Amino acid sequence: MKASDKRHLKRAGVEVTALGMGTAPLGGLYTPVALADARAAMQAAWDAGIRHFDTAPMYGLTRCEHLTGELLREEAPDSYVISTKVGRLMSFDRPGRQLPPEGPKNEFDSGWNSGLSFREIFDYSYDAILRSYDDSRQRTGCPKLDILFVHDIGRVTHGETHDHHWGALTKGGGFRALEELRAAKLIAGFGLGVNENEAILDAMEETDLDVCLLAGRYTLLDTSAADRLLPKCVERDVSLVVGGVFNSGILASSSGRKKFNYVDAPAEIIEKADRLRAECEAFGVALPAAAIQFPMRHKATGNVVIGAKSADQVRQNVAWFEQAIPDELWQNLENKGLVAAV
């Protein structure tokens, strides 16, 4: 399997590369990222044959949409696929300006060390979705946006305000705006970009989704999506772009970064990661290689997107993605109950 292999997203009608470039780390997730390093990482992804780039207004508080556009807008529009997100509008404070009060901080939002001077305002309504689309076109400067993901809709993110935001997306016309953009062929398709299985399942009952980005819920450490969501995606022809395959870092290095789902990893997760690492090493396979390839074993998966903070990290991700893994390793992990059978 090569990072540059093409994968067809049936309902959206676009072809993405098997490995996509996620841009969140370039916003300074956990640590700052110098502009030169961010640009080099993007160029390394392109040079490796990666042609799907996923970004969002939230990432670096607009920084990453600017970086994505800087790379792609000079390329032929049919040579790449770009996905971004809606649900957050970006604003700035100025004297006398009244902005909505900030809600309680989501425990999984670690902030941005290289973010620009904007503030996010959640809004999933009809007008906000259309404005967000326009704003992203302006920031990227690209002649097209292929896929829009409704970003971080769900009870984990919004808590007691979830019903309000879900109402804006459904009764308030947010989904209708996305349907109109698709019907006008301004986008190829839309879906949700979340880390909550239930949000996608609920959205499937509200509108016809094309492709969804699911982070952290179909990994070596968390296969909760396999119970209900993945079978439903296969039934509805909804492709899954799988992100968060390293679960915030614990699966990404031999030392085992002690972050899981953006917070400090509990003891049981650290123990399981250590067991997985030992099993992989017995077959001569790096744990990150198994982590990055694992989602591709399920037919619901369209592709995998991986973030990086440097050109070297991009090249390492590609090497892990392309490393040969014997079937015996997967069978061994299944037999020992470390992963669910596909």
- 87: which residues sit within 8 A by CB, 6+ positions away? 122, 123, 124, 128, 129, 132, 150, 151, 152, 153, 165, 169, 174
DSSP H helix total and E strand total for the chain: 12, 14
State phi, psi for 196 to the nearest 5 degrees.
-125, 120
Q: Which position among 2, 10, 37, 85 bears the catalytic label?
A: 85
124 is catalytic: no
**DSSP-H helix ranges across 77-223:** 126-140, 155-158, 162-169, 174-183, 197-204
DSSP output for 296-334: GGSTTEEEEEEE-SSHHHHHHHHHHHHS---HHHHHHHH
Active-site hit among 10, 30, 47, 59: 59
Q: Which of 54, 123, 135, 146 is catalytic?
A: 54
Instruction: Name the 3-class secondary structure at 59.
Output: coil
CA distance 271 to 162: 34
Does 85 participate in catalysis according to the annotation? Answer: yes
Q: How far apart are CA 242 and CA 295, in angstroms?
A: 7
CA distances in angstroms from 327 to 14, 147, 285, 337, listed in the order given: 30, 33, 12, 16
Pairing of strands 263-264, 259-260: antiparallel
Active site residues: 54, 59, 85
